[in-house]
Amino acid sequence: MAAIVAFLIVGVRSGPLRWTELLSSSTWDPTRGQFGASAMIFGTAAVAVMAVAIAAPLGWAAAIAIADLAPSRWRRTLRAGSEMLAVVPSIVYGLIGIAFVRPFVARFADVPGGDSLVAAALVLAVMVLPTVIAVSTDALAGVPNTIREAASACGLTRTEVIRSAVLPLARRGMGASLLLGLARALGETIAVFLVVGRADGRFPASPGDLLTRLVRPGQTLTTKLNGPESVLAGTSGAHWAALCALGLLLLGSVGALTLVGQRRSRPRVGSPDKAADGRSLARDRSLRWPGIGRVRRDRLTRAVLVGALGITLLLVAAIVMVVVVRGAAALHPSFWWSTSVGGSGGGIRNQVAGTAVLVVVAGVLAAPVGLGLGLVMSEYGGPALARWLRSATLILGGVPSILLGLWGYWLFNIQLGWGRSWLTGSILLALVALPPVAITVASAVAALPAERREAAHACGLRRDQMVRSVLVPQALPGLLTGTLLGLARAAGETAPLLFTAAVFSGAPALPSGIRDAPVSALSTHIFTLAQDSADPAAARTAWGAALALVVVAAVLVVAAVTARRRMERNLR
Amino acid sequence: MTAVRVRDLVVSSGERRLAGPVTFELPAGTTLGLRGPSGAGKSTILRSLVGLLPHPLSASGEITVLGVNVLGVNVGGVNVGGVNVGASRVDLPALRARAALVGQTPVVFPASIRANAVFGVRHVHRASRAALRDRARAALSEAGLWDEVADRLDSPADQLSIGQRQRLCLARALALEPSLLLLDEPTSALDAVATAAVEAAVAGLRGRRTVLVVSHDQAQLDRMCDHVVSIGIDGPG
């Protein structure tokens, strides 16, 4: 974490940089030494805000339907269903954006090609949705049932109970879901890259111009950093400094949102909420709809909430179907076992092998480090260190992966002189997988009953013996599931690999050595093919590889869930 | 007039019987106590009267509350109160507004004392702000809490002591002007002083309201009720 911040600061200081120009001008012209990023900052903000504005109402409504309206035995299934949206890698969302959202925007808003900020926002909205739903469902599930019962006992209808008794208590956590969703939207790179158009554009001159800008091609901070400029700029000088400054802006905003969001998503105990004043009464009365009976209003509201959940599940089904139908190429075994030929033909054998190497080594790196970090957080560190480490880990989890990629490029490719290397890729993917590992280990240890720890001490065990024989076994299920879930995420990552570890062609199936030993990977393969979407052969291969990638991620997630169930049963 | 008629009520979780069978009647305008050892399912029976059983539990038998056939089965009996529900679905929220339940542990909402007092009534009845204020005052007085909170109606309700909170819950129920009040061990979570205050409030309702109280404390029920029915684990005793 600190290394990434330090890298960006070193980068910023490596060349002359005028912050005022960066923030106020919209002329970005490296050849003339002009670096104004206001248009990109606008693009980033516009895309993220639009995405959250779509995803938040839908996600909140769906979360209420899951937590408060669905029969309790369906809750887990419905939640898991909505979380499928998070399993799909962002490169696949990019493909979907190219195939469906761009044509939609092109027809609807008369934009040639459809590349625009709006298209990016629509794709992002779907990607942010699972975050909003998961955090909100947790917040709603955290409201004690006694509250619901007490409100029902006063004769309130189901939706009146939700509005007057449940939401005031869940408001904080549901607000946090908005911040975390926003952080996710700001940091997303690959899916946006493929549909945003990547024209620097200009800062809107007037409110009317703002609307026009939204349906024109634009640029965001992440897509700028993911572009070719990062590699062309060298690693010092004004151009590199300006790029690093953009990275610092991005990291600052995403980090702050993640931190505040995570803080607020945990319930605060004991202190009264803001709703605890007399005004809540007045506010509530003004919400009353005149002219509709309570029972009908209840039914109507319920229908709307369940409808939102329905839309979410339809999205899941549609995405699964699209990936399977379009990726039909991957249904032939030969596609998996033959090497790719030329620009777009052949199979994906080397890409599968490369992804496997990257992911397996990343797992080998992330598991022990994550276990150690989790143990330090929960056992060895004092409360202050633990809190600090936890915040750092959470922020690391939210760091836009493009920044990891730039850092890896700068440190390993350039400073250490490795060139493109599979090991860099594995290290970066391990960093992607690390936060879930450490957090699940820490919470597993924290959930250990104090008596068991005492009993171990009472047997005369020293601390390290106690850790080895009590804490580590307790943490193992968490370690395994955390690693598998982290790797499921890492397997789909594209941005960290583009400059550091992967090449489109010319890499052997398995790399030898470390220096200048790139691999091919599924995600970067799709990324390159996707930018050639006019070629039907490229599209066919890209979708086939996308299905393969989704299958890999899904297998890891299913393995994680199965392992958790089995080990939880054994622990009991 | 019969406010509650329960006949052969059994509450079970799957195959397992949790409470009953139990049969009793509560005439309107009286206070009835349900007594039984802990574990006899007193609270469960009380909850089943207004359809507040937790998820896997189910009730069988006959329950008529304020003329509403709660279990939704048309048994052809004489429904009191003139509400004909028959086999149609029961409007439970409407029933709960007329048969208000006060739980064992006081649950206050994160809002002001006044907002808590009118929490239910502001949804159930259309009333002006002024009318709601009057209703809050009347209910708080009837629950014996008015003198203690009159000067801080807009401060958060969770600043109250636990005994005051329980009386606030009572006021919340009374504000609905219910035809029937269901009290589930209203003092079991309270200390002696708070218990005395709640008991006094409930005793003050005697003769003016129809009340069904559940408790394990025979002496307390004798002080508060006109009649007492005992429930054993193996049926009415």
Higher pLDDT, A455 or A163: A163
Write the DSSP symbol of residue A164: I
| Residue A539 phi, psi dihedral angles, 5° rounding | -60, -40
Q: Is residue A293 predicted with pLDDT exceeding 80?
A: no
Residue pLDDT, tens place only, A174-228: 888 888 889 888 888 888 888 888 887 777 877 778 878 888 888 888 888 887 8
Q: Name the average pLDDT for chain A.
A: 83
Q: Say which range, A263-267, A362-366, B81-85, has the weakest mean pLDDT.
A: B81-85
Inter-residue contact A544 to A348 (CB < 8 Å): yes
B173 close contact with A: CB closer than 8 A = yes
Higher pLDDT, B75 or A99: A99
Residue pLDDT, tens place only, B143-193: 888 888 888 888 888 888 888 888 899 898 888 888 888 888 888 877 888
Q: CA-to-CA distance for A494 and A483, rounded, in angstroms?
A: 19
DSSP conformation letters of A341-402: ETTTEE--HHHHHHHHHHHHHHHHHHHHHHHHHHHIIIIIS-HHHHHHHHHHHHHHHHS-HH
State the helix-helix crossing angle for A349-375 and A422-446, rounded to 10 degrees.
Answer: 40
Q: Is the sign of the CA dihedral A73, B95, B136, B164 positive or negative?
A: negative
B123 close contact with A: CB closer than 8 A = yes
Q: CA-to-CA distance for A170 and A141, rounded, in angstroms?
A: 9
CB pair distance less than 8 Å for A154 and B97: yes
Q: What is the pLDDT of residue A290?
A: 52
Which segments within B36-129 are labelled E, that is strand?
A: 57-65, 68-69, 99-102
B90 close contact with A: CB closer than 8 A = no
pLDDT category, A279, cuts 50, 70, 90? very low
In terms of CA atoms, which chain A residue is nearest residue B175? A154
Q: CA-to-CA distance for A360 and A352, rounded, in angstroms?
A: 12
CB pair distance less than 8 Å for A72 and B91: no
State the helix-helix crossing angle for A167-187 and A383-398, rounded to 10 degrees.
Answer: 60
Residues 399-418 of chain A with CB under 8 A from chain B are none
Q: What is the pLDDT of residue B72?
A: 61
CB pair distance less than 8 Å for B100 and A277: no
Q: What is the pLDDT of residue A274?
A: 43
pLDDT category, A312, cuts 50, 70, 90? very high
B174 close contact with A: CB closer than 8 A = no
CB pair distance less than 8 Å for B123 and A294: yes
Looking at the partner chain, which of A72, A153, A294 has a beta carbon nearest the beta carbon of B52? A153
Q: Which helix (H) or strand (E) holds A254?
A: helix A238-265
Q: Say which range, A63-77, A280-294, A409-423, B219-233, has the weakest mean pLDDT.
A: A280-294
Structure tokens at A50: 């639009």
> Which of A110, A87, A101 has its CA nearest to residue A212?
A110
Top-ranked range on mean pLDDT: pick from A307-311, B93-97, B123-127, B136-140: A307-311
B212 close contact with A: CB closer than 8 A = no
Residue pLDDT, tens place only, B29-80: 888 888 887 777 888 888 888 888 776 777 777 788 887 777 764 434 333 3
A284 close contact with B: CB closer than 8 A = yes
Q: CA-to-CA distance for A545 and B105, rounded, in angstroms?
A: 58
Looking at the partner chain, which of A160, A278, A295 has a beta carbon nearest the beta carbon of B154? A278
Q: What is the pLDDT of residue A282?
A: 42
Task: Tell me the average pLDDT across A51-58.
Answer: 94
pLDDT cut 90: percent of chain B above it: 0
Q: Is residue A27 predicted with pLDDT exceeding 60?
A: yes
In terms of CA atoms, which chain B residue is nearest residue A285? B122
CB pair distance less than 8 Å for B110 and A295: no
Query: What SS3 class is residue B12?
Result: strand
Q: What is the pLDDT of residue A273?
A: 45
State the helix-helix crossing angle for A536-571 and A75-87, rounded to 10 degrees.
Answer: 140
Structure tokens at A537: 């052969």
Q: Which helix (H) or strand (E) holds A34?
A: strand A34-35
Q: Is residue A261 predicted with pLDDT exceeding 90?
A: no
Looking at the partner chain, which of B91, B96, B158 has a beta carbon nearest the beta carbon of A154? B96
Higher pLDDT, A359 or A32: A359
Higher pLDDT, A329 or B114: B114
Q: CA-to-CA distance for A543 and A527, rounded, in angstroms?
A: 11
Q: Helices H, strands E: what count in chain B?
A: 9, 10
Task: Tell me the average pLDDT across B200-208.
Answer: 82
Task: Tell me the average pLDDT across A462-466.
Answer: 78
Q: Is residue A62 predicted with pLDDT exceeding 90?
A: yes
Q: Is residue A352 predicted with pLDDT exceeding 80?
A: yes
Length of chain A: 572
pLDDT cut 90: percent of chain A above it: 13
Q: CA-to-CA distance for A541 and A332, rounded, in angstroms?
A: 12
Q: What is the pLDDT of residue A441?
A: 86
Higher pLDDT, A45 or A263: A45
Q: What is the pLDDT of residue B88?
A: 46
pLDDT category, A571, cuts 50, 70, 90? low
Pure H helices in B143-174: 146-149, 162-174
CB pair distance less than 8 Å for A154 and B129: no
Beta bridge partners of B206: B209
Substitution target from B109, B114, B122, B133 for chain A, most A beta carbons within 10 A: B109
Residues 6+ apart with CB under 8 A from A171: A273, A275
Q: Smallest CA–CA separation between A140 and chain B, in Å?
A: 15
In terms of CA atoms, which chain A residue is nearest residue B130? A282
Q: CA-to-CA distance for A244 and A250, rounded, in angstroms?
A: 10
Inter-residue contact A147 to A169 (CB < 8 Å): yes
Q: What is the pLDDT of residue B77?
A: 38
A150 close contact with B: CB closer than 8 A = yes
In terms of CA atoms, which chain A residue is nearest residue B122? A285
Q: Smallest CA–CA separation between A55 and chain B, in Å?
A: 28
CB pair distance less than 8 Å for A153 and B96: yes
Substitution target from B48, B107, B126 for chain A, most A beta carbons within 10 A: B107
Neighbours of A459 (CB within 10 A): 11
